Amino acid sequence: MEKKPTILIADDSSFMRKILMGILEESGYSKFIECGTGSECIEKCKSEHPDLVLLDIIMPGMDGLEALKKIGNAVPVLMVSAIGQEKYIEDAKKLGAKGYIIKPFQPNIVLGEIRKVLK
């Protein structure tokens, strides 16, 4: 039986975490971990070993780019942010992000990016 991937969603907005989980659940994903800060995300990566991280950039305390630096190659990361500026997309990719999704996101783009990383 194929193991379902565990997806860690790091976003300080509980509403956006809910929207993302809704999109993923409709597509068959069912194992989620949630957190609201960059430092919690790093802790969860170490303790829960997710298969993928969806990481918001602007969060209180440690932001997503800082968290991404600390996560390194331990787990694949897709950045999720309301920022739609190309310069930050490049920053995230240079730090090792596997992709970038801009809020509000289109479900087909979210799912496409996730499938690319998890294949």
Partner 1 sequence: MTERKINLPALAAEGSKKVKYAFYQMSKMNVDVSVVESKEIEINEFDSIINNFIEGSIVVASNIVSGVDGMSILCLQRGAALQLVDVLNQVKIGTTGVLKEIDRSAIKETLNILGNSFINAYSKFADQKIILSPPQLYTTSRVSEIFRNFKNKISKQSASSLMFSLKISIIGLEVEAKLYLIFREAITAQLKEAA
Dist. CA 82–CA 40, nearest whole Å: 20
Contacting partner 1 (CB under 8 A), which of 21, 62, 83, 117? 83
When binding is defined by CB under 8 A, the residue of 2, 3, 15, 94 that contacts partner 1 is 15
Closest approach, Cβ 115 to partner 1, in A, equals 20
Residue 46 engages partner 1 in binding (rule: CB under 8 A): no
Q: What is 57-111 written as a DSSP string?
A: SS-SSS-HHHHHHHHTTSS-EEEEES---HHHHHHHHHTT-SEEEESSPPHHHHH
Sign of the alpha-carbon torsion through 31, 118, 1, 49: negative
20 near partner 1, judged by CB under 8 A: no
Q: How far is the CB of 59 from partner 1 (least distance, A)?
A: 6
Site residues (vs partner 1, CB under 8 A): 12-16, 18-19, 58-60, 82-85, 87-88, 103-106
